[in-house]
């Protein structure tokens, strides 16, 4: 059974005003008295946590809950809260974290780098070899927009109601290496694509290869990067289980000699935009059939596509329960909009999400 790990970027906000607060570096330094699974991020208004790899989705949920709780306790000692939302509802001028690399990124990429304050969820799924990893990347492309739709958790940006479920996806897509990729064919093709982007100056190093999915430069994993960070851990675990099922299924197709679906980058970008715009509240794009379909029908098609892998991993019941919950309650963006509808107060949005970040259950 493949191992899975989750990385989460969390927003750091003032406990009083709920506005972003640039103390993430201090929060991480304090939290590191606990297990070394906390990292500073590009901006001081955010922090990152990472679960250890595990074959058990339930165990990952327990660990993420513990790590969020420990990070929250550290934040409170600095007058702050941590919030699992993918963008700040309030207008903010983000603060660049210390370090030569971040300074160089800001100098080279200008306003694009200065304005970025987004929080994503990255899912690492183990692969047997880089060759298998590239084969997986080529075969999971048609389904990644569904993960974006499930995770949509950033309807506000700089005090504006954007009309998007995942505006983080739109802002993140401004990076020149971000978004869907062509099929690579093999490991040499993957390395060639990396070299081309480095030679162009679109990235300073391999860490800035912001593909929707990539080979990790640190672990023997495929890293899926499209989701917003999820407020409710149950949603994060649904995405983790689906991601592992996708990797299992793609690897099996490769071993069986089945070619990747010939889907253009342009159509994948269109599908990603539609997922970001409406999340699960409208149609998504079936990129193989080249048609729009109701979002929950496309999610059901994904579950059917990976059903044997879900069964083999013992994830079927969890996924089915989580999908029913998602249909009933909506995405993180839905919760944010409901909070805002009560009093048109952005602080209510952040406060509610902060409470659910540490108080929610990992059960679907």
> What mean pLDDT comes out for the span 285-314?
97
Assess if residue 353 is contained within a domain. Answer: yes
> What mean pLDDT comes out for the span 93-106?
96
Assess if residue 363 is contained within a domain. Answer: no
Question: How long is the chain?
Answer: 364
Residue 177: per-residue pLDDT: 97
User: Helix crossing, 187-200 with 130-140: angle to 10°?
Assistant: 80
Contact 94, 65 (CB under 8 A): no
Domain total in the chain: 1
Assess if residue 30 is contained within a domain. Answer: yes
SS3 percent helix, strand, coil of the chain, rounded to 5, is: 50, 15, 35
Residue 329: per-residue pLDDT: 95
Give the number of C-alpha atoms closer than 13 A to the C-alpha of residue 208, restricted to the C-beta side. Answer: 23
Residue 326: per-residue pLDDT: 97
- What's the chain's average pLDDT? 96
- Residue 78, Cβ density class (10 Å: 0-12 exposed, 13-18 middle, ≥19 buried): middle
For residue 361, is pLDDT > 60? no
Beta bridge partners, 228, equal 120
Contact 71, 38 (CB under 8 A): yes
User: ∠133-139-145 over CA atoms, to 5°?
Assistant: 110
Which comes out higher in pLDDT, residue 361 or 231?
Answer: 231
> What mean pLDDT comes out for the span 105-134?
97
What φ, ψ does residue 80 adopt, rounded to 5°? -135, 165
For the ranges 20-34, 70-84, 132-146, the lowest mean pLDDT is seen at 20-34
Assess if residue 80 is contained within a domain. Answer: yes
Between the two ends of the chain, the Cα-to-Cα distance in Å is 22
Between CA 148 and CA 354 the distance in angstroms is 21
**Both tokens of residue 151?**
């995770």
| Residue-wise pLDDT tens digits, 277-295 | 999 999 999 999 999 999 9
> What mean pLDDT comes out for the span 208-227?
96
Assess if residue 158 is contained within a domain. Answer: yes
- Residue 63, Cβ density class (10 Å: 0-12 exposed, 13-18 middle, ≥19 buried): buried
Assess if residue 364 is contained within a domain. Answer: no
Pick the closest to residue 231 from 4, 47, 9 (CA basis).
Answer: 9
Range of the domain at 214: 4-358
Q: Is the pTM of this model over 0.75?
A: yes
Residue 363: per-residue pLDDT: 61
| Residue-wise pLDDT tens digits, 143-183 | 999 999 999 999 999 999 999 999 999 999 999 999 999 99
CATH number of the domain enclosing 201: 3.30.590.20
Between CA 61 and CA 54 the distance in angstroms is 10
């Amino acid at each position: 059974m493949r191992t899975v790990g989750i990385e989460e970027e969390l927003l750091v906000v003032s406990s009083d005003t709920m506005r972003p607060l640039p103390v993430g570096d201090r929060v991480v330094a304090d939290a590191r008295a606990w297990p070394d699974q906390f990292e500073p991020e590009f901006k001081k208004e955010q922090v990152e946590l990472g679960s250890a790899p595990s074959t058990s989705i339930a165990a990952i949920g327990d660990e993420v809950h513990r790590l969020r709780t420990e990070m929250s306790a550290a934040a409170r000692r600095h007058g702050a809260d941590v919030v699992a939302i993918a963008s700040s509802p309030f207008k903010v001028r983000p603060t660049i974290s210390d370090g030569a690399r971040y300074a160089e990124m800001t100098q080279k990429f200008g306003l694009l780098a200065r304005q970025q304050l987004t929080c994503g969820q990255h899912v690492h799924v183990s692969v047997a070899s880089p060759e298998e990893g590239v084969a997986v990347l080529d075969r999971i492309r048609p389904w990644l927009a569904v993960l974006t739709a499930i995770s949509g958790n950033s309807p506000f940006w700089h005090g504006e109601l954007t009309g998007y479920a995942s505006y983080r996806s739109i802002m993140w897509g401004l990076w020149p290496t971000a978004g869907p990729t062509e099929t690579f064919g093999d490991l040499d093709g993957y390395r060639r694509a990396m070299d081309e982007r480095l030679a162009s100056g679109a990235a300073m190093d391999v860490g800035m290869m912001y593909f929707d999915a990539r080979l990790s430069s640190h672990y023997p994993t495929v890293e899926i990067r499209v989701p917003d960070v999820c407020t409710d851990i149950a949603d994060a675990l649904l995405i983790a289980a689906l991601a592992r099922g996708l990797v299992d299924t793609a690897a099996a197709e490769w071993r069986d000699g089945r070619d990747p679906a010939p889907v253009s980058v342009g159509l994948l970008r269109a599908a990603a935009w539609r997922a970001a715009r409406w999340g699960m509240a409208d149609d998504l794009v079936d990129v193989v059939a080249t048609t729009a379909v109701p979002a929950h029908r496309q999610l059901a098609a994904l579950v059917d596509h990976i059903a044997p892998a879900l069964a083999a991993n013992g994830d079927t019941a969890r996924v089915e329960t989580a999908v029913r919950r998602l249909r009933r309650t909506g995405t993180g963006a839905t919760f944010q909009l409901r909070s805002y509808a009560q009093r048109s107060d952005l602080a209510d949005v952040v406060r509610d999400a902060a409470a659910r970040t540490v108080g929610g259950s990992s059960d679907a």
